[in-house]
Chains A and B, each alone.
Chain A
Amino acid sequence: MTATTAPSTVSRAEYCVVACAEAWRGDGEVLASPMGTVPSIAARLARLTFAPDLLLTDGEALLTGDVPAVGARSAVTEGWLPYRRHLTMVMGGRRHVMMGASQIDRFGNQNISCVGDWRRPTRQLLGVRGAPVNTLNNPVSYWIPRHSPRVFVERVDMICGVGYDSAAAAGPSATRFHELRRVVSDLGVFDFATPDHAMRVVSLHPGVTPDELHEATGFPLQVPLATPRTRTPSPHELHLIRAVVDPSGLREREVRTR
């Protein structure tokens, strides 16, 4: 654990924004598809800084030529992406989506459909939506605004987004374009770059202790001694987050103080 302490003026939500933005670094000319407020701020931040070639939508059917603040209307349209073309684009792979997860396990299987027995769930959620097609066709990351043992579970109740073990079991057509990039939560950043593709800790956000992470995670997750802290947003990034992309502070509503 490094001893670096963050400037106290940077909020946890702002660390999360930068950690999510980093997911799209180096992606080039692909569609960044953020689900949720912090990922939406993050994708805009990435495009305004280190990933200028990213494509963004207005959340509906248009590709935006400008980068409006979250919730604001775009003034420039550079493309048309209705659902039928969006789904085709997914299958073409030129997209990196950051989805949410009601449950996620150590191999990255994700559930947004229902909790309990699928035949008669205790809690019906959204349905599988596009999680199966996303995970088999284009890079996928996840954003979890509140890291808890109810979300980070030993086994998900319904596999919507396909994890590494499930893809491997399903064979070469499933693994061919399968790639889970990173998981960002309000506690840290995680990936699957281990020999068996089990989740590992990439960084903890400043102020988060290993004990706090263990208590909030429903499966064993080692925190190596050398685990770094999530990087601090630069003054320029902070300016963009606060004054340009999210001037009304929506990020602070999605990431609650723990």
Chain B
Amino acid sequence: MSGKVMTPDAIVGRLESGMTLGIGGWGSRRKPMALVRALLRSDVTDLTVVAYGGPDVGLLAAAGRIRRLVTAFVTLDSIPLEPHFRAARERGAFELVELDEAMFMQGLTAGAQRLPFLPIRAGLGSDVLRVNPSLRTVTSPYADGEELVAVPALRMDAALVHLNRADALGNGQYLGPDPYFDDLFCEAADTAYMTCERIVDTAELTRDAAPQTLLVSRHAVTGVAETPRGAHFTSCVPDYGRDEAFQKEYATAARTPGTWGDFSARFLSGTGEEDYHLAVEAWHKEQR
């Protein structure tokens, strides 16, 4: 049963223009960047992207692949403002559905549980309701009679996530401190594709780790690919931390079209993930 093992390019081959894509991770943490880079090599576009945004959103926005973005923020964490997201918003490049972080979580949960919505207090009194005029409130049927926001389910055509380990069946394991919402992304999507640092035998997953590190279960995974350093330049602890120097290079390059063109030519124009890592390695050697 190794039918789920794929390459990043084969995974992107399953994606189509116009799809709603969920991207796991959080900010500049454990983002499925190898899949984002494979997306950039494809002609898939016109996407609705659902994410707690980081450079995944930035790269796709810079390449003009996003028609609509559903998010609560886009950040590089150690660099608070994502430069491509910022520029794209300021030129009105895509439609934005701006939700609060907890509203987003409720939306994912509703999507995973096949509910039309879940209620939440958050959003009331804020401009999230003003800028999302389609959001509705719901009145508690119980004695309290409270009026709450009904967060619509976030359902996706496909989810993309990156984990530390996985087996060939699609069981995914996180070894860092935070699972983020990767399990919910997979469960709220019709198909889910998972990359990982290393594909191992199922028995090896819990040889040195507790069973609760098994975050994503194979019933919710369509395909799995081994992409070492596949979250680069975002963090993937404990395998590696964020490549702060390279992230800074990315953010600096993103400031002008000229420098961004140079950056893209050098790092993003190769024919595969390997070219990217060779280019990054060469860049690091130059910095020494």
Give chain A's interface residues, CB within 8 Å of chain B.
Answer: 60-62, 80, 82-84, 87, 90-91, 113-114, 118-133, 135-137, 158-162, 166-167, 169-174, 176-178
Contact = CB atoms under 8 A, between A and B. Distances in A.
Q: Which 6 A-B pairs have the closest CB atoms?
A: A133-B122, A127-B73, A170-B125, A61-B177, A133-B102, A124-B89
B224 interface: no
B64 interface: no
A61 B175 CA distance: 13
A103 to B, nearest CB: 12
25 contacts: A60-B177, A61-B178, A62-B177, A82-B178, A90-B102, A113-B127, A118-B98, A121-B90, A123-B90, A124-B81, A127-B98, A128-B72, A128-B100, A129-B72, A129-B100, A129-B101, A130-B101, A132-B100, A132-B128, A133-B101, A135-B126, A158-B131, A159-B127, A166-B125, A177-B121
Contacts of A91: 102, 120-122
A125 B73 CA distance: 9
A199 B126 CA distance: 19
A127 B72 contact: yes
Nearest to B180: A83
Nearest to A62: B177
Contacts of A124: 81, 85-86, 89-90
A133 B120 contact: yes
A167 B103 CA distance: 17
Given A87-B101, A113-B98, A158 B127 contact: yes
Contacts of A119: 92
B238 to A, nearest CB: 12
A113 to B, nearest CB: 7
A87 B52 CA distance: 14
Contacts of B81: 124-126
B106 to A, nearest CB: 9
Contacts of A158: 127, 131
Contacts of B123: 132, 136
B71 interface: yes
Given A130-B101, A158-B127, A84 B179 contact: yes
A126 B80 contact: yes
Contacts of A82: 177-180
B100 A130 contact: yes
Contacts of A128: 72-73, 98-100, 126-128
B92 A167 contact: no
B147 interface: yes
Contacts of B185: none
B28 interface: no
B122 A132 contact: yes
B26 interface: yes
A160 B127 contact: yes
Contact of A122 (B90, B99, B102, B103): B90
Nearest to B181: A84
Contacts of A162: 124-126
B186 interface: no
Contacts of B146: 172-173, 176
Given A124-B90, A128-B98, A83 B127 contact: no
Given A83-B180, A132-B100, A169 B125 contact: yes
B125 A87 contact: no
B105 interface: yes
